[in-house]
Amino acid sequence: MERMIRKLKIRDWDMAMQLAWDTFLVYEAPEYSKEGVKNFHDFVKGEELRNMFSLGDYMAWGSFDENDVIGGVLGIRKHWHISLLFVESSLHHQGIATRLLRNAFAQAKSEGVRELTVNSSPYAVGFYHRIGFKDLDHERLTDGIRYTPMSIELF
Ligand SMILES: CC(C)(COP(=O)(O)OP(=O)(O)OC[C@H]1O[C@@H](n2cnc3c(N)ncnc32)[C@H](O)[C@@H]1OP(=O)(O)O)[C@@H](O)C(=O)NCCC(=O)NCCS
């Protein structure tokens, strides 16, 4: 059965951030310092992001199965910067991240937004290139987090 993509509701938040954290631990934490892992934990599990989301200042989409269990999450902060994209390990390579991004691109385009940015994890660099993102710089290391800044033009 095709999974459904929809905007997250506040009731989905804890499940979505748990998915982000669990997936981060497998694919990203091994590349980061202790400080970087703690910073990410505080980011997804803290109150600040949840409050931003509940106030409408943070956009998030999820991929849900027929029982409304989340399998992928995409989070975008102001000015159309992707700050979270995680798909559960057992669901990789089924097009879920691509579909999540397509939903965000459609909304961005409808608002006349020309460009989205992301700081890609080392693991996801090939994925973002395949989608059409271009590197803005070489890999950087900030607060214990390794990332490659990228952007994609929508028009
Ligand atoms: C990166 C990630 C979000 C991709 O999710 P996904 O749902 O498996 O991606 P898709 O199925 O839409 O992938 C589409 C295509 O991108 C490419 N691709 C996917 N993951 C890739 C990877 N890790 N490296 C290189 N190319 C990749 C493949 O060509 C894939 O097509 P294929 O499966 O037919 O070969 C997922 O692997 C993930 O959650 N990774 C861990 C967390 C992470 O690094 N997130 C990014 C934070 S910035």
User: Can you say whether the dihedral through the CA atoms of 2, 134, 28, 44 is positive or negative?
Assistant: negative
For 80, the token pair is 């159309």
Q: Where residue 6 falls among pLDDT bands split at 50, 70, 90?
A: very high
pLDDT at residue 104, as a whole number: 98
Q: Where residue 144 falls among pLDDT bands split at 50, 70, 90?
A: confident
Do the beta carbons of residue 40 and residue 34 sit within 8 Å?
no
What's the pTM? 0.97
pLDDT at residue 2, as a whole number: 80
Q: How far apart (Å, rounded) are the C-alpha atoms in residues 103 and 139?
A: 27
Distance from Cα 137 to the centre of ligand 1, integer Å: 21
Q: Where are the domains of the chain?
A: 4-113
User: Can you say whether the dihedral through the CA atoms of 78, 40, 38, 35 is positive or negative?
Assistant: negative
- Note the Cα 145 to chain centre separation in Å: 15
C-alpha atoms less than 13 angstroms from C-alpha of 114 in its C-beta half-sphere: 0
The mean pLDDT value for 71-95 works out to 97
Distance from Cα 85 to the centre of ligand 1, integer Å: 10
Locate the ligand 1 atom nearest the alpha carbon of residue 123 and give its number. Answer: 44
In CATH, 4-113 is 3.30.310.50: no
**pLDDT digit string, tens, across residues 25-80:** 999 999 899 999 999 999 999 999 999 999 999 999 999 999 999 999 999 999 99
